[in-house]
């Protein structure tokens, strides 16, 4: 077998065999297939597509390209959750302690922010002392002891995906349904869960810009899951505007802590209920949607969800005095309001631009090796549908870098589109696919 014939086959719209896909993944992971050969094959896949069988074979092959985790000694029913990424997406920080507080084991590895989207690991690291780099033994030990662990994906899970994902980023092949489906599912399968809930974000601040593509991605991941013996469900959530009001690491942690105490925006509440219900149903604790909703509300109102978050932070070395007293989180030196200059209803928000401004202010990285300013970011003061008067605050910029204020204010103003007519509030949950 050789890589040239494999590239040629896909270029000519032919179907690759399992052996050919395995060969490509194995040799590319090792480095004997070069980046330019892999780029040619990925581009051919992007243009000519893959059959469901090819996508499943690609997924399994990437899942087996490194270590795989066996969590069967913890439970035979581990439910994992993954988001396709967005702006202000702090749902994992809120939902996972809620689920763990019900005795459902939570074993979650999260990524770091890259591009305009944030990452849960960076958010957790804004809590002084919190260690996201646990060994696999510590990770499993924590789940056994307190029912939850949230770490970063530092293990060698699905290394082929890591390489291919980085490559896709450099050859304009990121937003492609077969490639996204196999990328996400390979990591989830390698991470050991047998039940997987995917939050497919959809809209201006997400990879999936329209609902048709989001549904196609959902159906594809469900099919891959079925063929790989995993139950997959997808909730499609609106990412036409940031989730909640905070964007940036400690700002989002503070919003998450308030949410765990019951104070949350309507969109966050709807997403927590929709995702939480599906996770509880998948765990088998109940099959009754109303009861599952009640379990979530009880977990928050009783303080159990908040206590579980504190337990998690303490267990992973974090200073819980910051959780108890969120004023202790360092604040950015400059907190600058951005005012509306005309009257109107907020019709559109350029969410991807807002994510990029937040990165520019220091909340994210433009290169992998960049360090993060945990206190930087943006607080949104308006949601789509709100009527805004001249002089109303649209958002606040949080930064420690004075030189960035003018550019950020100018761009942030342009990210809000107002309309003289009334604008309806958008739906938050766009669909559930299972
Ligand atoms: N998230 C992933 O893990 N992979 C993709 O390709 C897109 C989003």
Under 8 Å CB-to-CB from 288, ≥6 apart: which residues? none
Question: How remote is the CA of residue 361 from the centroid of ligand 1, in Å?
Answer: 24
Q: What is the DSSP letter of 277?
A: H
Whole-angstrom Cα distance, residue 390 to residue 343? 5
Phi/psi for 77 (5° steps) reads -135, 80
Q: Which residue has the higher pLDDT, 170 or 28?
A: 28
- According to the model, what pLDDT value does residue 117 have? 79
What is the dihedral sign for C-alpha 394, 429, 79, 294?
A: positive
Provide the pLDDT for residue 136.
87
- Residues marked as catalytic: 82, 161, 168, 183, 187
Nearest-CA residue for ligand 1 atom 1 is 84
Q: 207 CB under 6 A from ligand 1?
A: yes
Ordered by start, the domain boundaries in the chain are 3-49, 79-324, 331-419
Does the Cβ of 322 fall within 6 Å of ligand 1?
no
Asked whether 183 lines ligand 1 (CB < 6 A), one says yes
In 3D space, the residue among 418, 395, 417, 419 whose CA is nearest the CA of residue 408 turns out to be 395
State the closest ligand 1 atom to the C-alpha of 180, by its place in the atom list counted from 1: 6
Residue 336 to residues 52, 358, 374, 395, Cα–Cα distance (Å):
50, 13, 17, 8
Q: Does position 169 have pLDDT exceeding 80, yes or no?
A: no
The C-alpha atoms of residue 195 and residue 184 are separated, in whole angstroms, by 14
| Per-residue pLDDT band at 153 (split at 50, 70, 90) | confident
pLDDT above 90 for 360: yes
Rounded to an integer, the average pLDDT of 221-228 is 93
CA 277 to ligand 1 center in whole angstroms: 24
Residue nearest to atom 8 of ligand 1 (CA): 84
User: Does the CB atom of residue 117 touch ligand 1 within 6 A?
Assistant: no
Q: Closest Cα to atom 2, ligand 1: which residue? A: 184
Q: Which pLDDT score, from 0 to 100, does residue 170 have?
A: 84
Which residue CA neighbors atom 7 of ligand 1 most closely?
A: 180
Q: Can you identify the CATH homologous superfamily of domain 3-49?
A: Transferase, Pyrimidine Nucleoside Phosphorylase; Chain C (1.20.970.10)
Instruction: Return the closest-CA partner of residue 201 out of 134, 259, 116.
Output: 116
Q: What is the mean pLDDT of the chain?
A: 95
CATH code for residues 79-324? 3.40.1030.10
Which residue has a Cα nearest atom 5 of ligand 1? 180
Q: What is the per-residue pLDDT for 368?
A: 66
Q: How far is CA 102 from CA 148, 175, 257, 276, in A?
A: 11, 36, 18, 11
Residue 29's pLDDT is 97
Mind listing the pLDDT tens digit for each residue in 33-59?
Answer: 999 999 999 999 999 999 999 999 999
Q: Is pLDDT at 110 greater than 90 in this prediction? A: no
The CATH classification number of 331-419 equals 3.90.1170.30
What is the 181 CA–ligand 1 centroid distance (Å)?
Answer: 8
Mean pLDDT of 152-176: 87
CB 95 within 8 A of CB 276: yes
**pLDDT, average across residues 266-281:** 98
Instruction: Find the 180 Cα to ligand 1 centroid distance in Å.
Output: 5
Q: Once rounded to an integer, what is the mean pLDDT over residues 311-321?
A: 98
The pLDDT of 251-275, averaged and rounded, is: 98
Query: Can you give the pTM of this predicted structure?
Result: 0.93
Looking at the CA of residue 165, tell me the nearest atom of ligand 1. 6
């Amino acid at each position: 077998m050789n890589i040239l014939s494999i590239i040629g086959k896909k270029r000519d719209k032919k179907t690759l065999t399992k052996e050919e896909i395995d060969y490509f993944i194995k040799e590319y992971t090792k480095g004997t297939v070069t980046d330019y050969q892999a780029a040619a094959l990925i581009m051919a896949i992007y243009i000519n597509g893959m059959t469901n069988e090819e996508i499943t074979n690609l997924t399994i092959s990437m899942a087996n390209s490194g270590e795989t985790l066996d969590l069967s000694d913890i439970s035979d029913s581990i439910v994992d959750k993954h988001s396709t990424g967005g702006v202000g997406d702090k749902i994992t920080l809120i939902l996972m302690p809620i689920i763990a507080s019900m005795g459902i084991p939570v074993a979650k590895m999260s990524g770091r922010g890259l591009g305009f989207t944030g990452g849960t690991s960076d958010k957790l690291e804004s809590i002084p002392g919190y260690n996201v780099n646990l060994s696999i033994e510590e990770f499993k030990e924590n789940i056994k002891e307190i029912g939850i662990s949230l770490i970063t994906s530092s293990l060698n899970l699905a290394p082929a995906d890591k390489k291919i994902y980085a490559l896709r980023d450099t050859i304009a092949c990121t937003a492609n349904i077969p490639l996204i489906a196999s990328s996400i599912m390979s990591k989830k399968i390698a991470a050991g869960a047998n039940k997987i809930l995917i939050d497919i974000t959809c809209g201006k601040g997400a990879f999936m810009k329209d609902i048709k593509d989001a549904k196609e991605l959902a159906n594809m991941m469900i099919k891959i899951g079925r063929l790989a013996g995993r139950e997959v469900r997808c909730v499609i959530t609106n990412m036409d505007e940031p989730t909640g009001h905070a964007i940036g690491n400690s700002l989002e942690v503070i919003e998450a802590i308030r949410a765990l105490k019951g104070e949350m925006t309507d969109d966050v509440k709807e997403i927590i209920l929709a995702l939480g219900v599906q996770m509880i149903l998948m765990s088998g604790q109940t099959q009754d949607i109303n009861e599952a909703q009640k379990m979530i509300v009880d977990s928050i109102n009783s303080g159990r969800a908040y206590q579980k978050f504190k337990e998690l932070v303490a267990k992973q070395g974090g200073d819980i005095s910051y959780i108890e007293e969120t004023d202790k989180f360092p604040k950015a030196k400059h907190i600058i309001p951005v005012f509306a200059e005309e009257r109107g209803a907020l019709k559109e928000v350029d969410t991807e631009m807002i994510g990029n401004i937040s990165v520019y202010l220091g909340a994210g990285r433009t290169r992998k090796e960049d360090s993060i300013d945990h206190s930087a970011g943006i607080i949104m003061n308006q949601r789509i549908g709100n009527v805004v008067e001249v002089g109303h605050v649209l958002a606040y910029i949080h930064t420690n870098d004075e030189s960035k204020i003018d550019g950020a204010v100018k761009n942030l103003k342009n990210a809000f589109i107002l309309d003289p007519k009334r604008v309806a509030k958008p739906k938050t949950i766009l669909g559930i696919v299972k």
